Structure 1
Amino acid sequence: MASPISTSRPQSHSHTAAVIKPPQLQVLTSPEWEDYALLDSGNGQKLERYGEYILIRPEAEAIWKPALPAEAWSKAHARFQPSGDEGGGIWEVRRPLPERWQVGYKSLRCWVQRSTSRHVGLFPEQANQWDWIQEVIRSAKRPVNVLNLFGYTGLATLAAAHAGANVTHVDASRKAITWAHENQILSGLQDAPIRWIVDDALKFTQREARRGRRYDGLILDPPKFGRGPKGEVWEFYKLLPELLQACRAVLSAEPVFVILTAYAVKASAITLYYALSEIMSTWKGQIEAGEVALIETSGNRLLPTAIFARWSA
């Protein structure tokens, strides 16, 4: 257990240092995967299995040495080679590999495929969050309206819909929305009440507030940097406070949950904890915060991938 953090006020006979009780951070893992495994990591890369295919992708957090021999890494079907541009690069295909293939997590299914970046349409470390979203929705035992911002290829949306929620899924990329809709069909949820919206997350949320629409659950997975469909620029530190205030304005009178995840930013889980605490101060509930990580099957290590904070009633 973490020890209390003391502020750096000077000590004196008449004053004692103020003591801050820090949030108890935790690490979320997703051990129930069958179609995915983190086989190894190291030297700034990770070796992953998606279904029957093995990929090598960059991973800045993997500053240690690989646990497996080079022979294991040589069996990869493809490797992403980054270029000088942030997020850019090319895929080097080493063994026969289809353009796309299916993987599943419990009741959910999705397409995996190489893209113009290192991403393949799936963040497997988020499976723990999908389970949690389903649990809190079912526990509400009433109709739940969910807004998923920066929804990407829709696994969180599909998890919420599978639990019985009405979901509004927003992403700036029409390609991502199309991919998410295909995942909806793969998962047998084609009749689920999901609205697919191509829009800028901040502008859409602000318009929803003016329209008087309210949501019982919010899922936020903002990138470090991005662009909206009309060229709107998203910068995490500059616009996240404004987005959180917009989200507060669309919360229902009795919200069920809010979840906030951040990748590739120079921030702490404590930052997200206090940011979420501020906007949820009106409602009674509990907040968790910490890191999201993958369990490495070869070396018994945890590979951190993101930070999170989540509130539930």
Structure 2
Amino acid sequence: MTAARLPGLLESLPPLRGRVQANAKLAPFTWFRAGGAAEALVRPADAEDLAVFLRELPNEVPVHVIGACSNLIIRDGGLPGVTIRLGRGFSTITAEADGLVAGAAALDVTVAEHAAAAGLTGLEFLSGIPGSIGGAVAMNAGAYGGDLATVLDWAEIVTRTGELRRLVPAELAFAYRHAALPAGAVVTGVRLRGQPGAPALIATRMAEIRANREASQPIRARTGGSTFRNPDGMKAWELIDAAGCRGLTRGGAMVSNKHCNFLINTGTASAADIEGLGEEVRRRVLAATGATLHWEIRRIGIPIDIPAGKPEVVA
């Protein structure tokens, strides 16, 4: 099964200064290198282009937003309707005296590098987070002692109805790996706080983070980052290890031997293999430890196969 087609969708899309591609393969964009196609992949030129497009897009057309796809499973049946991917027009980074203004498509590590070059400290943790700034806001991404909630001044969004808005942290109700964005909203840019710092110390901290990631995570594999959130007072990887899931496989998917809260595409995995393996891990952890793991990786689209175990309900 592929993504359900909407009759006449491509012909009825609002005008766009950017690009529209029909039946666009999405697997090459994902870090897992797996998954189906988008019925219509839309790449707006800038925030105003996106706002006009969404304002005129019929409400019944499904809209999905993807970024660097570093923490995402796109199911094999693909994405119906419109898939939005922000590109070059959303990747600029501007240093200011006490922070940075960055487009949502800018990579987290690139933002950290710009902050370091400007002598700004407080954003080094971003060098240890795969993905883009827009996605980092949407899930309050964090690592190595920092997260977006602690450094964000504001985030600019375009709502599903085409309104351009600027939100402050209190309006986003940040929680662990969560931000309360309006339904259907697209993050287009942010301002992040930094403080003047010693360039040598900033460089040392970023080098430590890179070395730590290299030593502890399978960063050279086809993976999607941390698979499950840490339950309160517990580590997901310890629960997975205790349930005997390290090295577990399903089709071409495998639980990493290096860090068992990472799933890997060994080369032939479908999205169903990867998601199904995750569900099997959840089932075994619950049976062995009584703890329920919740996905940190987003899963979107139409599944072809039903994952093993009892899938977690996805909004």
| Length-normalised TM-score, structure 1 | 0.29
Specify the structure having the higher radius of gyration (Cα): 1
